C-alpha cells in the first residue's frame, strides 16, 4: 500500500476549489464528495487512517470519470490521475479484473461479441445476476449489430504514396480491430497521401489505461513495458493515436521518445488537408471534443483541420464537458453516463446534424448508443473518416 505517495500528492491540494466548476460529476451532484477537492480529501483521510474505506467512500471515488478536467484548472499542479490510480490500487477494488482483461484483448473481445449477440437475441442476458455482465453483453451485442466488428488484416508498414517526408507509428490499441477499423484505414490513406510512411508494429498492446484506472497497476505496467519496447528508439516523427483516451495515457509514459499525437492534430501540424483533392461535403457536422483530447492539448489543431473540410458546417457539442463514456464507466457506471450524455443528445436532436465526429472510441460508442436509444439516425465517426470519404470521392 503506497500511502506515502497518496499523502504527499494529496497534500499538494490547497483546497482552493478552482477545479470544482470544471468537474462534470460535481456539476451533476453539487456535492463536495463528488468533486476533485472532495475526493482528494477522502483519499487523504483514508491514507491518514481517519476514514474507513466504506461503500460510500468507494462509490465517490468510483464516480470519478478520470476526465482530467480538474488537472487543467489546478494551480497547484496536483497529479490527480496518478493520485486516483494509486488510491484505487490501494483500496478494495470494485471493478472485477476480468473486465479490463476482456476489453484489452482483441481475441477475447471478438468471442465476447459473438456470445453477447446470441445472449441478447435469446434473452439469456437477463439470467446473469451481475449488472456489469448484463451491461457488457448489451454493449457488445450493440457493437456487433453496428457491424464494426470486422477485423481487417493490417500490414506492418505502409509506404508513402507521394514524396517521402518521414515515418510515423500508428497506435491501433486494443479496440483498433473492433470499433476503429474505418478510422485506421482513413488514417493510413491520409498519412501516406501526405508523404508519411506508416508503421504498425504488431507487438503493440493495449495502452493499459483501463487496468491502471481500475486499480490493476501491475498489469498496466506490463502493457506499458511492452509498448515502450515496441516504440522507443525507432526515429518515428510521432506516435499517432486514433483514440485520445489511449493518447493521453501514452503521453504520460516516461521514456517514449516520439511525441504522442492525435492523428488529426498531426495531419494539421504537417500542413493540414488543404492541399488534398477533396470534394465538398455540404453537411452540418457536430463535433464532440473528448476530455482526453483537451488533456493532450490538441483540440485546436483538430478544430482547425475540420474547418478546412470544404463545405462543412460545424457545430460544437457542449453539454457538461464529458459525455460519460469514460473508459470502463460506460459499463460500470451507466447512470452517471446517461445523465452526462443527455444534454449532448438534446443538442443534437435540435440541430441539423446527422453526423458526429469525435476522437475517442469510448466517446463515439457512448454517443452512438445514446443517439440510437433516443431514436436519432446519427452516425458517429472519427474526423479522418470524413476526410477520407471526400478523398475517395475525388479519386472515384
Ligand atoms: S477527473 Fe473529472 S470527474 Fe474526476 S474529479 Fe477530476 S474533473 Fe471530476
Ligand atoms: S484546483 Fe487543485 S489545489 Fe485547488 S482544490 Fe482543486 S485539486 Fe485542490
For residue 67, the ligand closest to its alpha carbon is: 1
Q: Pairing state of beta strands 196-199 and 157-158? A: antiparallel
Tens-digit pLDDT string for the chain (396 aa):
578 899 999 999 999 999 999 999 999 999 999 999 999 999 999 999 999 999 999 999 999 999 999 998 999 999 999 999 999 999 988 788 877 887 777 777 777 677 766 666 677 767 766 777 777 777 777 776 665 444 567 889 999 999 999 999 999 887 766 667 888 999 999 999 999 999 999 889 899 998 988 889 999 999 999 999 999 878 899 999 999 989 999 998 888 889 999 999 999 999 988 888 889 988 899 999 999 999 899 999 999 999 999 998 999 998 888 898 877 777 777 778 888 999 999 999 999 888 999 999 889 888 988 898 889 888 999 999 999 988 865 554
pLDDT of the residue at 362: 86
For the chain, which residues make up each domain, given as ranges?
3-90, 98-146, 157-269, 283-395
Same fold flag, 157-269 and 283-395: yes
Architecture of the domain delimited by 283-395: 3-Layer(aba) Sandwich (3.40)
Specify the residue with its C-alpha closest to ligand 1, atom 2. Answer: 67
Residues whose beta carbon lies within 6 Å of some atom of ligand 1: 22-25, 36, 39, 64-70, 80
Residue in this structure with the C-alpha cell 477520407, named with its chain if needed = 388
Atom of ligand 1 nearest to the CA of 26: 8
Annotation: CATH topology of 157-269: Rossmann fold (3.40.50)
As a whole number of angstroms, the distance between CA 143 and CA 365 comes to 8
CB count within 10 Å of CB 282 equals 9
By the 8 A CB rule, do 357 and 379 touch?
no
Atom of ligand 2 nearest to the CA of 18: 1
For residue 36, the ligand closest to its alpha carbon is: 1
Residues whose beta carbon lies within 6 Å of some atom of ligand 2: 13-19, 36-37, 40, 70, 73-74, 76, 78
Q: Which CATH number, 1.10.760.10, 1.20.1440.130, 2.130.10.10, 1.10.1060.10, labels domain 3-90?
A: 1.10.1060.10
Q: What count of Cα atoms within 13 Å lies in the side-chain half-sphere of residue 145?
A: 15
* pTM given for the model: 0.85
Q: Looking at the DSSP assignment, which residues form a beta bridge with residue 356?
A: 286, 380
Atom of ligand 2 nearest to the CA of 76: 3
By the 8 A CB rule, do 385 and 186 touch?
yes
Using the CB atoms, write b or e for 210-247: b if 16+ within 10 Å. bbbbbbbbebbeebbeebbebbeeeebbbbbbbbbbbb
Amino acid at each position: 500500500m503506497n500511502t506515502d505517495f497518496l499523502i504527499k500528492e494529496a497534500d499538494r491540494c490547497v483546497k482552493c476549489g478552482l477545479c470544482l466548476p470544471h468537474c462534470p460529476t460535481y456539476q451533476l451532484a453539487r456535492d463536495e464528495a463528488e468533486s476533485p477537492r472532495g475526493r482528494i480529501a477522502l483519499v487523504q483521510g483514508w491514507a491518514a487512517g481517519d476514514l474507513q474505506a466504506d461503500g460510500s467512500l468507494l462509490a465517490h471515488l468510483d464516480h470519478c470519470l478520470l476526465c482530467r478536467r480538474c488537472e487543467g484548472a489546478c494551480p497547484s499542479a496536483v497529479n490527480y490521475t496518478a493520485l486516483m490510480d494509486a488510491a484505487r490500487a490501494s483500496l478494495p477494488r470494485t471493478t472485477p479484473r476480468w473486465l479490463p482483461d476482456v476489453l484489452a484483448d482483441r481475441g477475447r473481445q471478438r468471442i465476447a461479441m459473438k456470445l453477447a449477440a446470441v445472449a441478447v437475441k435469446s434473452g439469456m442476458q437477463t439470467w446473469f445476476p451481475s449488472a456489469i455482465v448484463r451491461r457488457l453483453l448489451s454493449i457488445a451485442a450493440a457493437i456487433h449489430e453496428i457491424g464494426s466488428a470486422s477485423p481487417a488484416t493490417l500490414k506492418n508498414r505502409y509506404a508513402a504514396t507521394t514524396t517521402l517526408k518521414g515515418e510515423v507509428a500508428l497506435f491501433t490499441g486494443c479496440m483498433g480491430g473492433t470499433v476503429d477499423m474505418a478510422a485506421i484505414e482513413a488514417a493510413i490513406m491520409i498519412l501516406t497521401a501526405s508523404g508519411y510512411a506508416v508503421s504498425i508494429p504488431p507487438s503493440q498492446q493495449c495502452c493499459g489505461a483501463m487496468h491502471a484506472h481500475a486499480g490493476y497497476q501491475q498489469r498496466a505496467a506490463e502493457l506499458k513495458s511492452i509498448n515502450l519496447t515496441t516504440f522507443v528508439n525507432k526515429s518515428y516523427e510521432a506516435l499517432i493515436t486514433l483514440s485520445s483516451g489511449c493518447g493521453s495515457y501514452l503521453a504520460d509514459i516516461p521514456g517514449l521518445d516520439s511525441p504522442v499525437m492525435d492523428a488529426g492534430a498531426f495531419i494539421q501540424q504537417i500542413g493540414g488537408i488543404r492541399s488534398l483533392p477533396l470534394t465538398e461535403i455540404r453537411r452540418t457536422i457536430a463535433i464532440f471534443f473528448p476530455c482526453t483530447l483537451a488533456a493532450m492539448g490538441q483540440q485546436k489543431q483538430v478544430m482547425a483541420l475540420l474547418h478546412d473540410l470544404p463545405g462543412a458546417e460545424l457545430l460544437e457539442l457542449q453539454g457538461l464537458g464529458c459525455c460519460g463514456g469514460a473508459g470502463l464507466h460506460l459499463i460500470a457506471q451507466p447512470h452517471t453516463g446517461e445523465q452526462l450524455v443527455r444534454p449532448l443528445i438534446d443538442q443534437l436532436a435540435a440541430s441539423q446534424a446527422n453526423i458526429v465526429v469525435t476522437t475517442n472510441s469510448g466517446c463515439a460508442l457512448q454517443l452512438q448508443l445514446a443517439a440510437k436509444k433516443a431514436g436519432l439516425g446519427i452516425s458517429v465517426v472519427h474526423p479522418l473518416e470524413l476526410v477520407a470519404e471526400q478523398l475517395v470521392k475525388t479519386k472515384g
